[in-house]
Structure 1
């Protein structure tokens, strides 16, 4: 069979230009399952540019090689994908995707899902650059080096080691280890200055850090930007906790914004009346402290809490900067100011292990943060 014609066999129908019984050139394949391919053929196999529609309503404009789709533009109800594909017509390899809301992703795909490195711009303009796994964003895999801005947070535990009490040698402070996590990427030797420090001041309405005032005065004398944090109790009144924190904490011009350390267990949240009720208390604390100090406090939480509970409080999530504890190699994807990346770091001048934090930005951004976001005037106790 040669020339233009139609050949029907079982569940398929082929029409187009035939040569020795095989489609060659422009042709069409229609199957009983309502899939249609219209495009170029060579020796009876799809080869070259073509258009394919399947029973799910997807339309694929692409390039076939020896019956295999190797590159395509896929249209479906989710949006438009353009890039490399696998034999099933699913995104696989490098490709771009845009949906009707304007959200965009470009990067690597595997089995129809985002995988490995890529970047996305969400419909709200938020940028995500980093590693993806099975369609979910893991975060930026940060490379740690001396260009980053590192700090520490301390409490009484940084003075106690094996039953003995030690002072902090403030003039000797240097970060010498970011912790024991092996997957963390580090370029060069870890020997970083301590660029900021947070000191625990109070907890609930009864607990004071007896080292707070000494450490606070020493940090300021060493010209290290410093701030204070309060450990929130789910069994004490939020307004009373705010008053206790303000009474026992020093707030001076140039100090970092105060922090509320929120680390309740699931059981503590349940006993407090649930997450929504707890968040109402948290907001009371935040607003009282902001009014007294003149800057908006930061919320300290861990990654599990962010995933499970923070979406229940849009006011906190959207309006307050977050300092997050996430002990992994990926930078958290949230409105972030500090990232606590380990609890087992080493700092010259401090005997026990220390929490190590990294500021979300570089030197110029840190200097702008110190100018714009720190306390503007002394607050009387």
Structure 2
């Protein structure tokens, strides 16, 4: 049938399940009368290539996982054989965080404080589709606060927010916004001078958001990565923990493959405003730039930790400042 060799099961003289062999591999599972994969099944292409999950018209559609040599498992939603990633179901059981800077204090010409004792997430924003179960009234378990940018810009609200967030029982981390126009050494030293690093704090974050033009102007991606490595090494030596890299999905796709050492050694915080979780080595996922939080005026970046309570406890034990 269609050039396939088939061992199958029939009902009312119609094929509905079988083992189908072709020149590339073996499919085992539900199929239609023409031996086309439809329903739940697995495909073994040999040499460590294996996929299992739901199929439609011989393509992975719905939830599937795929294993390939020297690559991590890809488990999540597939559409027409393309992997989209894990689609997270948002509930109160997940671990949420936020990040703030002066822009939560200065909106237009008005200035606002943050009431850290009232902090609760009340909206995950409207920029992307999200699967949500139950009402959105989520605890904020951690907050990253911007301290510095480049070699001279300091967030004047940083220390007050840092102290009040900790007093409210929220775990705190500090981040630096990277500039392509000043040296990484100057930036790292400025960040270390102006920031707080106390026992139990989350690892420092380097926020890297340059445009293509900025990267080209500073000498290209390899020069950028050289500067990033310098900043990371200086801050790690001083704080005793590996910093986390905050980057966009665009940066992941276009530039990160040029720095396999960073992919291997460091954890990432990915900004991706889509329906599916990023398919990278992930600590945090910023899922919305337009969330709402009680106690804060205006829009707030909402982040979800990559895991549940047991993984979060393990992260706190292994990666926070000692």
TM bracket, shorter-chain basis: over 0.9
In 1, the alpha carbon distance for the partners of 2:258 and 2:35 equals: 39
* 1:245 counterpart residue number: 191
Aligned length: 322
CA contact (8 A) 1:160 1:352 kept: no
TM-score, structure 2 length as denominator?
Answer: 0.92
**Deviation of residue 227 (structure 1)?**
0.6
* 1:210 counterpart residue number: 156
* 1:355 counterpart residue number: 301
* 1:303 counterpart residue number: 249
In 2, the alpha carbon distance for the partners of 1:116 and 1:270 equals: 40
CA contact (8 A) 2:128 2:273 kept: no
Structure with the largest fraction of strand: 1
In 2, the alpha carbon distance for the partners of 1:96 and 1:224 equals: 45
Q: Deviations over 1:174-200 (max 9, x none)?
A: 111111146211111111111000001
In 2, the alpha carbon distance for the partners of 1:78 and 1:114 equals: 16
Q: Secondary structure at the match of 1:220?
A: helix
In 1, the alpha carbon distance for the partners of 2:48 and 2:129 equals: 35
**Deviation of residue 89 (structure 1)?**
4.5
* 2:167 counterpart residue number: 221
2:28 aligns with one of 42, 63, 82: 82
**Deviation of residue 239 (structure 1)?**
1.7
CA contact (8 A) 1:199 1:229 kept: yes
Q: Deviations over 1:6-28 (max 9, x none)?
A: xxxxxxxxxxxxxxxxxxxxxxx
Q: Deviations over 1:46-67 (max 9, x none)?
A: xxxxxx583xxx6544457899
Q: What RMSD over aligned residues (CA atoms) do the two structures have, in Å?
A: 2.1
TM-score, structure 1 length as denominator?
Answer: 0.79
Relative CO higher for 1 or 2, CA cutoff 8 Å, sep ≥ 6?
2
**Deviation of residue 223 (structure 1)?**
2.2
1:139 aligns with one of 80, 85, 88: 85
* 1:315 counterpart residue number: 261
Structure having the higher Rg: 1
1:167 aligns with one of 101, 107, 113: 113
* 2:55 counterpart residue number: 109
CA contact (8 A) 1:197 1:227 kept: yes
* 1:97 counterpart residue number: 43
* 2:135 counterpart residue number: 189
**Deviation of residue 77 (structure 1)?**
5.2
Q: CA 1:165–1:89 in structure 2 vs 1: closer, same or farther (change >3 Å)?
A: same
Aligned: 1:255 with 2:201: yes
Q: CA 1:320–1:182 in structure 2 vs 1: closer, same or farther (change >3 Å)?
A: closer
Structure 2 stretches lacking a partner, 5+ long: none
In 1, the alpha carbon distance for the partners of 2:179 and 2:46 equals: 45
Structure 1 stretches lacking a partner, 5+ long: 1-51, 377-381
* 1:270 counterpart residue number: 216
